[in-house]
Amino acid sequence: MLKSIYFVTFYKYFMVYFVKYEIILIHYSGA
């Protein structure tokens, strides 16, 4: 149970950073 909560939290943070990185890449390549 605890392990699944830990995994979901890690996954959420990973997705947030991935989306931010994608936006930065698109912004700089488009500019």
CA distances from 11 to 2, 5, 7, 19 (A): 14, 10, 6, 12
Q: What is the DSSP string of 1-31?
A: -HHHHHHHHHHHHHHHHHHHHHHHHHHHHH-
Domain span at 14 = 1-31
* One-letter amino acid of 6: Y
Judge if pTM exceeds 0.85: no
Total count of domains within the chain: 1
Provide the pLDDT for residue 24. Answer: 93
Provide the pLDDT for residue 29. Answer: 87
Place of tokens 């989306």: 19
Cα-based torsion angle of the residue sequence 13, 19, 21, 23 in order, rounded to the nearest 10 degrees: -150
For the chain (31 residues), the mean pLDDT of every run of 10, in chain order, is 91 96 90 59
